[in-house]
Structure 1
Amino acid sequence: MKKAWQGSIVAIVTPFKMNGSIDYTAFDHLIDFHLENETDGIVVCGTTGEAATLSKEEYTTLIKHTVEKVNKRVPVIAGSGTNSTSEAIKNSCLAESLGVDAILVVSPYYNKPTRKGLKDYFSQIANAVTVPIILYNVPGRTSGNIPADLTIELAKEFENIVGIKEASGNLEQVACVLRDKPADFMVFSGDDALAFQAVCMGASGVISVIANLVPKEFHDLMHAASIGDLEKSKEIYFKYLKLIQLCFIESNPIPVKTGLALMGKLQEKFRSPMCEMMDDNRKQLVAEMTRLGIV
């Protein structure tokens, strides 16, 4: 049951056609782009993939398509959490049945559950599936934090809870999880700007937004940091730090999808309430991508 994944796992975007439907041709090209550039895994139907706007039919088809297209070349992880425990269980069971390698389960948003409620939510999901589970802590989206001690408690209690995507923006919390976790429990940074630091402390890698734009570079950054090559990892990190910051100048995935459109990899189409990037911010993104030679 325990896995040992590491490196740069992309939280892949979902391309849309101008009529609003999923653009599977563009999506296949993105998967090829990642496999050619050594991305270490793919998260489908996550925050960056605008999962909250997908219908159940789209959710099912997109996961199935991803599993078949990737064909075991790298792990495929499907987002399955939501703010209803029963719906999260249904999503998780569905994703498992479609052949994913793991599920990424975000803590419940909007409801603001107590610690007891969080424990119950993750416990019920863990008891409902056998597929490996990666917890997802992103307080900026959910308005609630998964405490470090609860992460450790869940990791020790459930064999199929194998890791966490830590996007609290709090390196001290990441450090506490790394200090107290079981030896084979994986910690992935959910913040691109803190991924280098997290891996230097012992994290397994990153579940990344910016890897959509620079997959090889972020793979190389994670590898260099993991083997203690600080000179190379610092060089890559500082080179792309401004691009990382610009990818969050507006709500994710607006900037990163804009960047991919500039690269000619998809149409600049979002699902409402996501919308096109503001002009001033777009100009900054274009300038930085041009400086880096990406466009």
Structure 2
Amino acid sequence: MNKFHGTGVALVTPFNTDGSVDYQGLKKLINHLVDGGIDYLVSLGTTGETATLSKDEKKKVWDFTAEINNGRLPLVAGIGGNDTLLIGDAIKSFENNNYSAVLSVSPYYSKPTQEGIYQHYQYLSELSELPIILYNVPGRTGSNMSAETTCRLAHDFKNIIATKEASGSFDQFNQIMRDKPEDFLLISGDDPIALPMISIGAVGVISVIGNALPQQLSDMIRLCLKGDFAKAVPAHLSLLEITRLMFAEGNPAGVKATLKQLNICDDVVRLPLVKASSALNKSLAEQLESLSSLV
């Protein structure tokens, strides 16, 4: 599964001013990422505002993404939720010819036990024709998938190949690295800690800021993976402030504001999210100018 080493980007879903999906903006974004050296694309993760898209819109976005990508990069489809049977049906019926894996978030809101999380993924694993990447993001789901549960799933189901870890807990990362199968992948789900996670064995990141800054981020991740931390650390530090700003008013409002400044797509988000404030836009513009002066 070397195709999931390096920098993946969780694509935003561009919208027109009337709230409809902006397919020309999505085309520009995909080409921006391919040209920027990204290693793979994740379509309709949380950053894609998936919770606000209809079933028909999701299918059209997946199909369009595959069409524009045209085999240039591996593709991952985000298919997750807290209704196990419904997500199982979505995975079973997913037309996956152009996709290499499914990213499926640990069930949110319901706050299942660890055994409930295990059985949820067991059910999905037995239905999926594609490899599954687990996604643990307690700040959004309201519950943590423990290292023990992650490694139990990794050992028990060969098509569960990786975890996108966004718990922020290095105790948890360390335990996963120690106890996982050798070929199971730990992937950072947080941009600011991708570098230290790679230092203990993570194979890369699934990024938000990479939507706007693919070259800067992917260059830094490649330095980390080569073990060249002397060069990677300054690159990492140069991205900290713009990363903080992109998340200051929620995801993906900040990164969409940055993409608008880069003339890639508009900054429209769907309610209950709202656009970044004028103050945040100003700060993001200043950081973009500062980064461009470093290149």
Normalised TM-score (structure 1): 0.96
Alignment partner, residue 123 of structure 2: 124
Instruction: Write out aligned runs for 1:68-79 (5 A).
Output: 68-79=67-78
- Per-residue CA deviation, residues 152-188 of structure 1 (Å, 9 max, x unaligned), is 0000110110000001111221121112111111111
Alignment partner, residue 209 of structure 2: 210
Alignment partner, residue 7 of structure 1: 6
Indicate conservation of the 8 Å contact 2:3/2:40, yes or no.
Answer: no
Q: Which piece of structure 1 moves more, 59-68 or 249-258?
A: 59-68
Counterpart Cα distance in 1 of 2:159 and 2:97: 17
Instruction: Write out aligned runs for 1:120-199 (5 A).
Output: 120-199=119-198
Counterpart Cα distance in 1 of 2:286 and 2:215: 21
Counterpart Cα distance in 1 of 2:277 and 2:36: 30
Is residue 237 from structure 1 mapped to residue 203 from structure 2 by the alignment? no
Counterpart Cα distance in 2 of 1:90 and 1:172: 35
Indicate conservation of the 8 Å contact 2:3/2:74, yes or no.
Answer: no
- Structure 1's 209 and 283: CA in aligned 2 closer, same or farther, altered over 3 A? same
Indicate conservation of the 8 Å contact 1:202/1:226, yes or no.
Answer: no
Alignment partner, residue 262 of structure 2: 263
Amino acid at match of 1:121: H
Count of matched residue pairs: 293
Counterpart Cα distance in 2 of 1:252 and 1:267: 15
Alpha-carbon shift at residue 91 of structure 1 (Å): 2.2
Normalised TM-score (structure 2): 0.96
Unaligned runs of 5+ in 2: none
Counterpart Cα distance in 1 of 2:190 and 2:79: 20
- The SS at the match of 1:292 is helix
Alpha-carbon shift at residue 98 of structure 1 (Å): 5.2
- Per-residue CA deviation, residues 50-103 of structure 1 (Å, 9 max, x unaligned), is 111000000011111112221222111011001110121122223354531100
> Percent identity, aligned pairs only?
38
Indicate conservation of the 8 Å contact 1:102/1:132, yes or no.
Answer: yes
Indicate conservation of the 8 Å contact 2:79/2:87, yes or no.
Answer: yes
Alpha-carbon shift at residue 41 of structure 1 (Å): 0.5
Q: Calculate the aligned-residue CA RMSD, in Å.
A: 1.3
Alpha-carbon shift at residue 36 of structure 1 (Å): 0.9
Counterpart Cα distance in 1 of 2:3 and 2:53: 30
Amino acid at match of 1:36: D
Unaligned runs of 5+ in 1: none
Counterpart Cα distance in 1 of 2:200 and 2:282: 35
Counterpart Cα distance in 1 of 2:70 and 2:139: 33
